[in-house]
Amino acid sequence: MSDADRRRALKQAWKDRPLPAGAYRIRNTQTGEAFFGCSADVPGALNRHRFTLGHGTHRSRALQTAWNAHGPDVFAFETLELLGDTDAPDFDLAEALELLELLWMDRLTPADLAYNAGGRPATRR
State the average pLDDT over residues 51-55. Answer: 98
User: Which stretch of 4-13, 58-67, 98-107 has the lowest confidence by average pLDDT?
Assistant: 4-13
| Those residues with Cβ within 8 angstroms of residue 6's Cβ, 6 or more apart along the chain or in another chain | none
Residue 24 has a pLDDT of 96
CA atoms of 99 and 96, how far apart (whole Å): 5
Q: How many CA atoms lie within 13 A of 66 on its CB side?
A: 22
pLDDT tens readout for residues 65-121: 999 999 999 999 999 999 987 777 888 989 999 999 999 999 999 998 999 986 666
Domains of the chain by start residue, with CATH: 31-124 (3.40.1440)
Identify residue 121 by its one-letter amino acid code: P
Strand partners, 123: 38
Is residue 124 very low, low, confident or very high in pLDDT (cuts 50, 70, 90)?
low
With pLDDT > 90 as the criterion, what percentage of the chain qualifies? 63
| Those residues with Cβ within 8 angstroms of residue 59's Cβ, 6 or more apart along the chain or in another chain | 52, 117
Model-level pTM? 0.81
DSSP state of 117: G
